[in-house]
Structure 1
Amino acid sequence: MTIKIVVERLPTREDMDPVTLRRHPALRQLYSLYEEEGEVAPKIIRENLSVEAARKVLSNRVIELLSAIKENKGASISELARILRRSPSNVYRDLAELARWRIIKLREDGRKKVPEIIAKKIEIEIL
């Protein structure tokens, strides 16, 4: 039995970096469409997620964090920590993992970092 986990997400500025575009032909094609059509409508990127990463993303603690981000748009890490009654360092650690897996991105807003959810869907297939 094989399990495949796929994340559908919005492209980030880092995805359009020339080094990244050289390594990923699908992204290069997406960027070409942007340039040719002059459109800025977001496209969806599909990426595989490891079973280990999915296990962490689907934990109660992380789902609670993602819900808090969605319900409190623009909340900083320390504000989310207060809302969730967790330490800011633990919240930051979870956010850093989510950013590494490209479930969220951390946006600079002055001196604070604000998480934004960029994943639109996580699919689990049993093959």
Structure 2
Amino acid sequence: MIKVYLERKITRDDLAPGNLEKHPELRELYSLYEEEGDFTYTWYIREELPPHVARKILNTRILELLDFLSKNKDIGVSELARSLGRSAPNVSRDLRFLARWKLVRLNEQGKKKTVEITARRIEILFAEK
């Protein structure tokens, strides 16, 4: 049996009331956020991912994209595509996939879309039944 875990930054979206049911451990953090009104600390959460997601993440293009993002903060999608020598639509498709599984966060700053990596660690565990 294979288990895949993602350790990632917690975002404001995770603290939305509907998401607190999925992660009860975030309730204390939510209370702190309500009191302080600030989100300057970096907190991490560990979630299980389906194995088919791990298979796609281990694709060479996705790994190259994640590696580049880990070294380049708040880069725009167009600049990212140029830097990787890939077409912008293909990079956008990969980023939407990564955002869906919360490995990255897509931010809009006016007309410019920037990408922030939220993934810290991905673990693939093999266990006997």
Q: What TM-score, normalized by structure 1, do the two folds share? A: 0.87
2:61 counterpart letter in structure 1: R
CA distance in structure 2 between the partners assigned to 1:5 and 1:58 by the alignment: 12
Runs of 4+ residues over 6 Å off in structure 1: 36-39
Amino-acid identity (%): 50
Distance 1:22 1:54 in 2: 25
The AA in structure 2 aligned to 1:96 is: R
Aligned-pair CA distance for 1:44: 1.4
Cα deviations across residues 2-37 of structure 1 (Å, max 9, x unaligned)? 111110111011101112123432222442455579
Aligned to 2:104: 104
Aligned positions, number: 126
Q: Which runs of 5+ in 2 are unaligned?
A: none
Query: What CA deviation, in whole Å up to 9, does each residue of 1:31-83 have, x standing for no partner?
Result: 24555799853221110011110111111100111122223322211111111
**Contact 1:57 1:63 survives alignment (8 Å):** yes
**Equivalent in the alignment of 1:11:** 10
Structure 1 gap ranges (5+): none
Q: Cα RMSD (Å) of the superposition?
A: 2.1
